[in-house]
């Protein structure tokens, strides 16, 4: 509401505002230029996500948190490494040998629940003393911890989480039930040796959580704190008036090119993005933004949500239309503008046919 009040005063006192602007420009140009030329400092944060396959939802939630904070905090690019996403593995060797070493990342996140993970192949490097690592996940977490403790290493920091929800056991298969119990016991032994047991107490820090939602909230809190403490939170984006003109749009909506001056709606943008993503996952990629006239619906979509989606999905195209008195015509025309290859289809040079399809 505050910017609206300022704009109404500006248009009501146009001459006085203009003279004030000239006075400010002539007497305080140096200071104003200094204040408006703050540049974005890109800070990349690389996170290695390590876990067995029984916490797949938590892994997805970690990705969700990284994307959310990447959108909320300017100047920070968060890359999260998940072995199962966006990568391939050649059959000439084992999986673990083709996974990037965790100690090359800024942050290693380990998540455990019902088992310690998959065993490593024969001949894989062992722990000090010749003992094999209990699993690939254990190797990743312990190697990162060892590197972090090394003199002058400084990284990676290691966050370890353990899910405390009851572990479901197979009812009809006694052998499978015994295997699950044995896997849970192996994880308990691993946690007792390296993190905590009733006798020796805590050897290394880890955090418990109950369910995926609890993990998401806890991990977001921890990652926010890590970004602040490690000075990864940069200055806000600048809007250079001498190059881009006034950022005030009056009664016009903010467009994608005004995203750097579209402040105060980051939480709304991320909520909208997450709701659209959830809807798309259920087979209906549709999001309705409703609100009173002038409340900023168009600006939220055009300068907030759409550019944010373009950050995540490269090559995303958009069609924007105002329904008017012939909404299908408007939609068809917008689709032809956004997707020029439509003109090479069954209805070259015209959207009349497409309009009929939309009907």
Rounded CA gap, 125 and 142, in Å?
Answer: 13
pLDDT at 137 over 50: yes
**Confidence tier at 230 by pLDDT (50, 70, 90):** confident
User: Could you tell me how many residues make up the chain?
Assistant: 359
The mean pLDDT of the chain is: 80
φ, ψ of residue 8 to 5 degrees: the values are -65, -35
pLDDT (mean) for 66-91 = 84
pLDDT at 197 over 70: yes
Answer for the pair 45, 222: CB distance below 8 angstroms, yes or no: no
pLDDT score for 232:
72
pLDDT score for 242:
64
Closest CA to 43 of 74, 71, 64, 82: 74
Angle between helices 14-27 and 2-12 (to 10 degrees): 100
pLDDT score for 25:
36
pTM metric for this prediction: 0.62
Tens of pLDDT, residue by residue over 285-308, are 888 888 888 888 889 888 888 888
Percent of the chain with pLDDT over 70: 80
Tens of pLDDT, residue by residue over 332-353, are 888 888 888 877 766 555 555 5
- Which string of b and e fits 249-267 if b means at least 16 CB within 10 Å? beeebbbeebbbbbeebbe
Rounded CA gap, 33 and 94, in Å?
Answer: 57
- Which string of b and e fits 63-96 if b means at least 16 CB within 10 Å? bbbbbbbbbebbebebebbbbeeeeeeeeeeeeb
Tens of pLDDT, residue by residue over 152-164, are 567 899 999 999 9
Both structure tokens of 68: 């959310």
Query: How distant is the alpha carbon of residue 310 from its chain centre?
Result: 13
Both structure tokens of 138: 């254990």
CA atoms 248, 253, 254, 257: torsion sign: negative
Domains and CATH numbers, the chain: 43-229 (3.40.50), 244-358 (no CATH)
pLDDT at 236 over 80: no
**Confidence tier at 357 by pLDDT (50, 70, 90):** low
Closest CA to 143 of 78, 50, 45: 50
Query: How distant is the alpha carbon of residue 140 from its chain centre?
Result: 23
The larger pLDDT score, comparing residue 196 to residue 157, is at 157
Rounded CA gap, 165 and 271, in Å?
Answer: 27
Rounded CA gap, 3 and 8, in Å?
Answer: 9
CA atoms 92, 94, 95, 97: torsion sign: negative
CB hemisphere CA count around 81 (13 angstroms) = 21
**Confidence tier at 15 by pLDDT (50, 70, 90):** very low
Both structure tokens of 26: 């002539």
pLDDT score for 178:
93
Rounded CA gap, 333 and 346, in Å?
Answer: 15
Tens of pLDDT, residue by residue over 81-108, are 988 887 888 888 888 888 888 888 999 9
Across 58-62, 145-149, 169-173, 341-345, least confident range: 341-345
Across 21-35, 193-207, 257-271, 326-340, least confident range: 21-35
């Amino acid at each position: 509401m505050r910017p609206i009040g300022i704009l109404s005063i500006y248009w009501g006192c146009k001459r006085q505002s203009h003279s004030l602007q000239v006075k400010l420009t002539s007497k305080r140009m140096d200071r104003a230029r200094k204040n408006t030329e703050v540049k974005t400092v890109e800070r990349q944060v690389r996170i290695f996500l390590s876990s067995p396959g029984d916490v797949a939802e938590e892994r997805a939630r970690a990705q969700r948190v990284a994307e959310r904070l990447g959108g909320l905090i300017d100047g920070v690019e968060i890359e999260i490494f998940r072995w199962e996403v966006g990568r391939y593995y050649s059959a000439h060797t084992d999986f673990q040998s083709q996974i990037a070493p965790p100690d090359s990342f800024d942050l290693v996140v380990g998540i455990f629940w019902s088992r310690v993970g998959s065993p490593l192949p024969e001949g894989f490097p062992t722990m000090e003393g010749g003992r094999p690592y209990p699993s690939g996940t254990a190797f990743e977490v312990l190697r990162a911890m060892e590197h972090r403790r090394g003199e002058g290493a400084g990284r990676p920091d290691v966050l370890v989480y353990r899910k405390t929800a009851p572990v479901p056991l197979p009812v009809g298969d006694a052998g499978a039930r015994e295997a699950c119990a044995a896997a849970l016991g192996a994880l308990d032994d691993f946690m007792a040796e390296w993190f905590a047991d009733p006798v020796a107490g805590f050897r290394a820090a880890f955090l418990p959580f109950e369910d995926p939602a609890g993990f998401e909230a806890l991990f977001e809190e921890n990652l926010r704190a890590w970004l602040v403490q490690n000075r990864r939170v940069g200055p806000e984006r600048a809007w250079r008036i001498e190059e881009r003109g006034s950022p005030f749009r009056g009664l016009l909506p903010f467009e994608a090119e005004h995203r750097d001056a579209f402040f105060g709606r980051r939480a709304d943008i991320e909520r909208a993005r997450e709701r659209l993503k959830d809807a798309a996952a259920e087979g209906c990629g549709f999001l309705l933004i409703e609100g009173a006239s002038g409340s900023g619906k168009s600006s939220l979509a055009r300068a907030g949500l759409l550019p944010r989606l373009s950050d995540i999905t490269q090559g995303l195209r958009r069609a924007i239309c105002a329904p008017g008195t012939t909404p299908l015509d408007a939609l068809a025309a917008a689709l032809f503008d956004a997707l020029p290859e439509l003109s090479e289809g069954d209805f070259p040079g015209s959207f009349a046919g497409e309009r009929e399809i939309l009907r």
